[in-house]
Amino acid sequence: MNPDIPLQLLGGITAREFLRDYWQKKPLLIRQAIPDFESPIDADELAGLALEEEVESRLVIEHGERPWELRRGPFAEDEFSKLPEREWTLLVQAVDQFVPEVAELLENFRFLPSWRVDDVMISFAAPGGSVGPHFDNYDVFLLQGHGKRNWKIGQMCDSESPLLQHADLRILADFEATDEWVLEPGDMLYLPPRLAHSGVAVDDCMTYSVGFRAPSAAEVLTHFTDFLSQFLTDEERYTDADALPAVDPHQIQHDALDRLKSLLAEHMSDERLLLTWFGQFMTEPRYPELVVGPEEVEEQDFLSALEEGAVLIRNPSARLAWSEVDDDLLLFASGQSRYLPGKLRELLKMICAADALHVDNLGPWLSDEDGRGLLCELVKQGSLGFADE
């Protein structure tokens, strides 16, 4: 993707300009980001998803002014028929994993790394429906899918911002609106992390939230050190050879801190391990139970199937990414990593990006032992699978 081409999705600015001026910094309203956008799913289909066990869904219902009531899915069909005419919202997480047309929307955001994408959440709100003024810790693009929504944005918040007392919902006690717009289908609002916002449905309204994720510093530290510790032996310890005699035996002197700092630095600066951990962590699937492959994949059967016209597709619940380490490549697939020879670069890129893999585009890779092995392994692991014809 050329970062210097003006994009309709970004209101006519380029990806480079968007990243420089708005991303993680300030909001951007884009009228007709996707002109004449028509939601690929309707309210009934969204409600249908919320009946499913493996789909995460929530209902937020307002009773008078407040408090907001939160119910968690999966829901029973009759719960929807008992809802009032107004003032409720159904939110369904990760619809991109269940509806391919919704996953396709993500193609528009390829100017951002795919491992930064969290999911596409879709909400349906009855008139007046809102989840209350709040802030999120992640970047989000709010694309209006159907009907109209009134969006107000406000102040920058943080963990000190006062919230209403509510066991399950993080609703801001103070919301100072600074701007307000009514979004129609195809309009989109980008919000940086921590910006207060409040969206109220004008009529029956569907909103797509393309959400991003970034690990917290606490997550990076705890998960990376956990990962590192697998490679450390009990003998690797704090050492103080050549220490000077203690002046006061009860005092912790700063030379001890220096030793600790070098112990930390020695391990924390291992770039290979940091990369391996990060790739594995960022490709961990949201629903690991949906990334399972067949126990056995016979290479010969696998090849014959492809030669007879079978098509491989990425499991929509899988996450893939790759990186370079010297002359080798590292593939991250749904929380696992694998070193590969540099010659597989084009295959790797194709596996990560192509809609479908078949004899025509795999071509010579099927005669390459490493290439074949890689494809088989990804099928076994559940990240790739044969499309049902």
Closest CB to ligand SIN among residues 206, 351: 206
136 near ligand SIN, judged by CB under 6 A: yes
Closest CB to ligand SIN among residues 90, 331: 90
- Residue 199 binding target from ligand SIN, Co ion, none, CB below 5 to 8 Å by type: ligand SIN
Q: Which residue is listed with tokens 């429906």?
A: 129
Collapsing DSSP states into helix, strand and coil, what is residue 163? strand
Question: Closest approach of Cβ 53 to ligand SIN, in Å?
Answer: 23
136 near Co ion, judged by CB under 5 A: yes
Question: Closest approach of Cβ 70 to ligand SIN, in Å?
Answer: 13
Torsion of CA 304, 307, 311, 312, to 10 degrees: 60
Interface with Co ion: number of residues (CB under 5 A): 1
Rg (CA), the chain: 25
Question: Closest approach of Cβ 52 to ligand SIN, in Å?
Answer: 20
From candidates 39, 57, 89, 334, binder to ligand SIN by CB under 6 A = 89
Collapsing DSSP states into helix, strand and coil, what is residue 104? helix
- Binding mask 305-344 toward ligand SIN (x if CB under 6 A, else -) reads ----------------------------------------
**Structure token pair of residue 163:** 């919230």
Closest CB to ligand SIN among residues 125, 282: 125
Report the candidate in 345, 352, 353, 389 with the shortest Cα–Cα distance to residue 371. 345
From candidates 199, 285, 371, 382, binder to ligand SIN by CB under 6 A = 199
207 near ligand SIN, judged by CB under 6 A: yes
- Which residues, other chains included, contact 322 with Cβ-Cβ below 8 Å and sequence gap of 6+? 279, 329, 330, 331, 332, 348, 349, 352
Question: Closest approach of Cβ 195 to ligand SIN, in Å?
Answer: 10
DSSP state for residue 244 in the 8-state scheme: P
Question: Closest approach of Cβ 54 to Co ion, in Å?
Answer: 23
**Structure token pair of residue 268:** 């924390």
123 near ligand SIN, judged by CB under 6 A: yes
Closest CB to ligand SIN among residues 112, 357: 112
Report the candidate in 48, 71, 76 with the shortest Cα–Cα distance to residue 58. 71
Question: Closest approach of Cβ 130 to ligand SIN, in Å?
Answer: 7
Strands of 115-245 (E only): list them: 117-125, 140-146, 149-156, 179-183, 188-191, 195-201, 205-212
Q: Is the bond preceding residue 341 a cis peptide, omega within 30 degrees?
A: no
Collapsing DSSP states into helix, strand and coil, what is residue 356? coil
Nearest position to ligand SIN, beta carbon: 123
Q: Which residue is listed with tokens 């970062």?
A: 3
Question: Closest approach of Cβ 317 to ligand SIN, in Å?
Answer: 22
Closest CB to ligand SIN among residues 86, 349: 86
Report the candidate in 273, 386, 374 with the shortest Cα–Cα distance to residue 333. 374
User: Which residues are bridge partners to 208 per DSSP?
Assistant: 122, 143
Question: Closest approach of Cβ 191 to Co ion, in Å?
Answer: 7
Distance between CA atoms of residues 132 and 281, nearest Å: 32
Order the strands of the 179-183 sheet from edge to edge: 179-183, 149-156, 195-201
Residues numbered 139 to 198 that lie near ligand SIN (CB under 6 A) are: 140, 197
Interface with ligand SIN: number of residues (CB under 6 A): 10
Question: Closest approach of Cβ 197 to Co ion, in Å?
Answer: 6
Distance between CA atoms of residues 323 and 114, nearest Å: 13
| Candidate ranges 74-82, 123-131, 247-255, 344-352; the one touching ligand SIN (CB under 6 A) | 123-131
Query: Where does this chain bind ligand SIN (CB under 6 A)?
Result: 89, 123, 125, 131, 136, 140, 197, 199, 207, 209
Residues that bind Co ion (CB under 5 A): 136
